[in-house]
Amino acid sequence: MIRAALPLALLALTTACQDQASGGAGARAQITTVGSSTVYPFTTIVAEQFLANNPDARPPVIESTGTGAGMRLFCAGIGAAHPDIVNASRRMKRSEFDDCVKHGATEILEVQVGIDGVAFAEAKNGPNMALTPADLYSALAATPGGKKNKARTWRDVNPALPNTPIQVYGPPSTSGTRDALAELILARGCEDSDPSAKALKASDEDAFKARCQRVREDGAYIDAGENDNLIVQKLTANPNAIGVFGYSYLEENAGAVDGVPIADVAPSTATIVDGSYPGARPLYIYVKKSHLDAVPGLRLFIRQYAKLWGAGGPLARRGLIPAPADVQARSAQVVQSETPLDGNLLK
């Protein structure tokens, strides 16, 4: 037995060494994508259609890592060892772009594929909450108004709200949904409730972020991992809790949970497209331009994306909200002409 196993072990080690040689050289037969768990289901659909239309292509690898972790992997360099596409549920940050440039990925295509809303939901038998960004800011920020958050119940936040403990299930800090919560809801609530915050935003952005966008960590906000189904389950088990996730999950689970209106606007496809719902955000894919020629099929893959993202298309059926017509035209233009992103436009 041992006599047979040893040569096999050696064989495995040699294969490993050969792979090491090819790993860095830039030859890779399949497309690799990383990033947001919100964009993941849409990219898997595109991958499937891509395979159906190109039966000879190797299947793309689509990982769901969260936007932040995906950006780190994406920007770690160019070549076969690094992913071709990152799915993002927010715009790339200036710091991430700089990181990309530092590692050689200077030309990046930015393609907005659609819109998603950050939805707040409660169980069907919940207390029918109606919140404002200011309420959510006072309930969820680590230091609302510069002081440590001591609110325990919703009534502590706003006397009109029920006297139930603040329990909010949401995604972890690596998630783009969490970034959208901080940037769209908390930052707005901060500016609404605290007039000095606006001045602070102009003068010291880091201090603004620390005061307005940091989520409390004392148990009121409960990190439920990158598993949105788990949040839905927790909500049905605990009617007093509020859940935070992407709008497509709310739509799919309309039978189990109800959307919570924010500033008197209920989350729906209509309110998200017209911009009246405060929790809407764009979804992007970022593609390395230098990989378009190196990785077989990558160009066809992003064109396939452009074919599917329209209203009534397969992505919309799965829950993606199509972007407004002018944004769609601009994205299609980027895919066609392969115009790289100008880093100076990023924040």
Partner 1 sequence: MTDRAPTDWRTDAMRRRIVRRYGAERRFRMFGLGAIILSAGFLAFLIVTMVMQGAAGFTETRVSLPIDFAAAELTVTPEQLRGDRGNLALAGAGLEGVVDGAAGAAFAQQGGAELLSDGAWLRVRDTLKANPGMLRGRTAIDVPVATDIDVAYKGDGTPEAEQVVAALGDRLSRGLNRDFFGNADATDPTRVGIWGALKGSLLTMFVTLILAFPIGVLSALYLEEYAPKNRWTDLIEVSINNLAAVPSIIFGLLGLAVFLGTFGLPRSAPIVGGLTLALMTMPVIVIAGRNAIKAVPPSIRDAALGIGASPVQVVFHHVLPLALPGILTGTIIGMARALGETAPLLMIGMRAFIAAPPEGLTDPATVLPVQIFLWSDEVARGFVEKTSAAIIVLLVFLLAMNGVAIYLRNRFETRW
Whichever of 80 and 332 has its CB closer to partner 1, that residue is: 80
Interacting positions 224-263 with partner 1 (CB under 8 A)? 227-229, 249, 252-253
- Distance spanning both ends of the chain, measured CA to CA: 61
Closer CB to partner 1, 7 or 195, in the complex: 7
- Mark the segment that binds partner 1 (CB under 8 A) among 45-53, 158-166, 258-266, 304-312: 45-53
Distance CA 98, CA 6 (A): 48
Number of residues that bind partner 1 (CB under 8 A): 42
Does residue 44 touch partner 1 according to CB under 8 A?
yes
Q: Is 15 in the site for partner 1 (CB under 8 A)?
A: yes
Q: Does 60 bind partner 1 (CB under 8 A)?
A: yes
- Residue among 14, 24, 275, 336 that touches partner 1 (CB under 8 A): 24
DSSP secondary structure string, 257-326? EEEPPBTTB---HHHHHTT-STTEEEEEEEEETTHHHHSTTHHHHHHHHHHH-STTSHHHHTTPBPPPHH
Q: Which is nearer to partner 1, 223 or 252 (CB)?
A: 252
Please report how close the Cβ of residue 316 comes to partner 1 at its closest, in angstroms. 14
Q: Which is nearer to partner 1, 168 or 315 (CB)?
A: 315
> Of all helices (H) and strands (E), which one includes residue 18?
helix 2-23
Strand 280-288, strand 168-170: pairing: unpaired
Nearest residue to 219 via CA among 237, 241, 239: 241
Contact pick of 36, 38, 40, 114 for partner 1 (by CB under 8 A) = 40
HEC string for 87-125: EECCCCCHHHHHHHHHCCCCCEEEEEEEEEEEEEEEECC
Residue in the block written with tokens 């939805």 = 119
Q: Which is nearer to partner 1, 195 or 255 (CB)?
A: 255
What's the half-sphere exposure (Cβ side, CA atoms, 13 Å) at 200? Answer: 17
With respect to partner 1, which residue has the nearer C-beta, 60 or 322?
A: 60
The contact mask relative to partner 1 for 105-134 (x = CB under 8 A, - = no) is ------------------------------
CB-based contact 64:40 (threshold 8 Å):
yes
Q: Which is nearer to partner 1, 120 or 249 (CB)?
A: 249
How does DSSP classify residue 131?
Answer: B
Q: Which is nearer to partner 1, 131 or 232 (CB)?
A: 232
Three-state secondary structure call for residue 137: helix
Least distance in Å: CB of 6 to partner 1? 6
**Which of residues 36, 39, 41, 235 is near partner 1 by CB under 8 A?**
41
Distance CA 196, CA 208 (A): 10
The residues of the shown chain that bind partner 1, judged by CB under 8 A, are: 1-2, 5-6, 8-9, 12, 15-16, 19-20, 23-24, 28, 30, 32, 34, 40-41, 43-45, 47-48, 51, 55, 58-64, 80-81, 227-229, 249, 252-253, 318
